[in-house]
Structures are given as structure tokens and as C-alpha cells.
């Protein structure tokens, strides 16, 4: 009988402790998500800005391949283009404000403007992951949280593979990777902002191969527009091509739900 009670007690404790752990992990995830600034999870619908970019400065920081245009063509035909970007919850849309046939008449079919538009779109689409709180697992995701040397480790499963996230002691995200894979890795840096953590750096591997010399490094500095913290100064470093892009978002306006 004594053995029966001990067995029953152990069984009940096992079930209860597992349930309590699941509840605690779910609570930690919910509390962690609440620490991040996610303007599109509040009432921001979209924002639109002019893209300020200095081509002359760019060519001091990037290897010039020759299909962008001559110095004179860049100064007279490319630099004056009024590039703009509109960012909504789903994506960033960049435009030169020109008709398609007008762009094709630019030097090398508008290659330079196309490269700039791609850089702006790529960097802001990656920022959207943070602004939608999509870098973190959805609130109802089963997760396991435990202490680590740097702060905390959070594990969860996506379809057929396991994901491991590392957090600092303040619960700012430091890295995410498929468990056991050094190549499939992303690293982030955050700083506190008025409404929560703001992503200041995002590092990923080109073509999914994360290693020194093959990373794409994105950095973000912020501005306050209509009560929202939005990117202002953005840089993109492509290590494999020794290529750096710096641009600034100016004259921004926001659309917010009432």
C-alpha cells in the first residue's frame, strides 16, 4: 500500500509539474513578446518616406563593377531621382516615381536605381519581421524555456525541425538557429525604446550560409514619427562583395487606425 501511494504521488507530481512547466513557458513567451516594440501590432497601418542616398559616397564604400553608369551619368541622371518607399504590414514597396519605359532609358537600363531599390526593400522587409513581432514564436506556440549562460534559451518546433533561440537576461533576442546547424543562423541586437525593444542589428547568412565573410549585416537607427519608432538611418553590408549601402528615410508620414 505504501508503495502504491508513493507511485500515485510520483505520477500525479509528474503530470502536475509538466503542466506547470508548460504554463510557465507559455507565460514567459507571452511576457517576452510584450517586451518588444511592434508598431504594426498596435495601430500602425503604413508609413511612407523619401529615400536619401548619396551615390558619390557609396562608391567610396563599394566595389564599382561598371554597370551603374559613369560619374557624370550618375550625377546628372541617377542622383536626382526621388526614390520613395511605402511600408505596410506585409512588405516594403520602393518606387523611383518614373514610368517603366523612363527607367529603361536610364544608363544601363536603370541598373543603379534598381540596385538601390532592391537594397532598400531587402533591408526594410527584414525589419518588418521585428515590427510585426514575427521574429518570435506566435503566442500559442508550445515552447520550452530554460536558463543559459547568456540569459535564456527558448526551444520550439517548426514543422520538421527544431529551432533554438538565445536571449539576454533582459529577454532581448540574440540569435536564432535550426538546432544543430551553424549555417542556418541569424543574429540580432536590440535596444530599449519608448514602446519596447527596437532591433538595431540583424545578421544573416547569404544563401542560408552563416559564416564570416558570407554574412549580410543590417543596422537600423530610429526616428519618432507620429509616436512610432521607425527606421531613419539604415545600412546594409554584404561581406562577400565588400559592398556597403547607407540610406536615410526622410519626410516620413504615417497612416494609423483610429
Q: What is the mean pLDDT of each run of 10 residues along the chain (258 residues)?
A: 41 38 78 96 96 94 80 93 97 94 88 96 97 94 94 92 95 92 90 98 94 97 98 97 95 95
Question: What total number of domains does the chain contain?
Answer: 1
Rounded to 10 degrees, the C-alpha dihedral 42/50/66/244 comes to -50
What does the alpha-carbon distance between residue 3 and residue 209 come to, in Å, rounded to a whole number? 55
- Give buried/exposed letters for 183-210 (b at 16+ CB in 10 A, else e): ebbbbbbbeeeeebbbbbebbbbeeeeb
pLDDT (0 to 100) of residue 223: 99
pLDDT (0 to 100) of residue 68: 81
Domain of 150? 2-256
Q: If DSSP codes are grouped into helix, strand and coil, which group holds residue 249?
A: strand
What does 160-223 look like in DSSP terms, one character per residue? TEEEEEEEETT--EEEEEETT-SSSEEEEEEEEETTEEEEEEEEEEBTTB-STTSEEEEEEEEE
User: In the chain, at which residue ranges do the beta strands (DSSP E only) sit?
Assistant: 44-52, 84-88, 92-95, 143-147, 151-158, 161-168, 173-178, 185-193, 196-205, 215-225, 228-238, 243-256
What does the alpha-carbon distance between residue 106 and residue 115 come to, in Å, rounded to a whole number? 13
Instruction: Give φ, ψ of 130 to 5 degrees.
Output: -75, -40
Alpha-carbon distances, residue 86 vs 34, 51, 91, 114, 254 (angstroms): 26, 10, 9, 16, 10
pLDDT (0 to 100) of residue 235: 98
pLDDT (0 to 100) of residue 16: 33
pLDDT (0 to 100) of residue 63: 78
pLDDT (0 to 100) of residue 1: 45
What does the alpha-carbon distance between residue 36 and residue 193 come to, in Å, rounded to a whole number? 9
pLDDT (0 to 100) of residue 67: 73
Largest CA distance in the chain: 94
CA 206 to chain centre: 15
Amino acid at each position: 500500500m505504501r508503495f502504491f501511494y508513493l507511485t500515485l504521488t510520483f505520477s500525479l507530481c509528474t503530470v502536475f509539474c509538466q503542466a506547470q512547466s508548460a504554463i510557465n513557458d507559455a507565460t514567459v513567451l507571452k511576457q517576452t513578446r510584450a517586451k518588444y516594440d511592434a508598431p504594426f501590432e498596435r495601430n500602425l497601418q503604413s508609413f511612407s518616406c523619401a529615400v536619401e542616398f548619396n551615390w558619390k559616397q557609396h562608391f567610396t564604400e563599394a566595389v564599382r563593377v561598371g554597370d551603374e553608369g559613369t560619374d557624370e551619368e550618375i550625377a546628372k541622371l541617377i542622383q536626382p531621382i526621388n526614390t520613395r518607399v511605402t511600408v505596410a504590414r506585409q512588405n516594403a514597396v520602393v518606387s523611383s516615381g518614373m514610368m517603366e519605359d523612363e527607367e529603361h532609358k536610364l544608363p544601363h537600363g536603370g541598373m543603379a536605381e534598381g540596385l538601390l531599390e532592391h537594397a532598400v526593400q531587402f533591408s526594410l522587409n527584414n525589419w518588418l519581421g521585428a515590427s510585426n513581432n514575427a521574429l518570435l514564436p506566435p503566442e500559442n506556440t508550445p515552447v520550452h524555456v530554460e536558463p543559459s549562460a547568456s540569459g535564456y534559451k527558448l526551444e520550439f518546433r517548426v514543422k520538421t525541425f527544431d529551432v533554438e533561440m538565445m536571449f539576454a537576461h533582459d529577454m532581448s533576442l540574440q540569435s536564432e538557429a535550426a538546432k544543430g546547424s551553424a549555417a542556418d543562423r541569424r543574429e540580432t541586437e536590440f535596444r530599449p525604446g519608448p514602446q519596447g525593444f527596437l532591433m538595431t542589428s540583424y545578421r544573416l547568412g547569404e544563401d542560408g550560409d552563416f559564416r564570416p565573410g558570407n554574412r549580410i549585416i543590417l543596422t537600423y537607427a530610429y526616428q519618432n514619427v507620429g509616436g512610432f519608432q521607425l527606421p531613419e538611418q539604415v545600412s546594409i553590408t554584404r561581406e562577400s562583395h565588400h559592398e556597403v549601402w547607407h540610406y536615410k528615410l526622410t519626410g516620413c508620414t504615417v497612416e494609423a487606425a483610429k
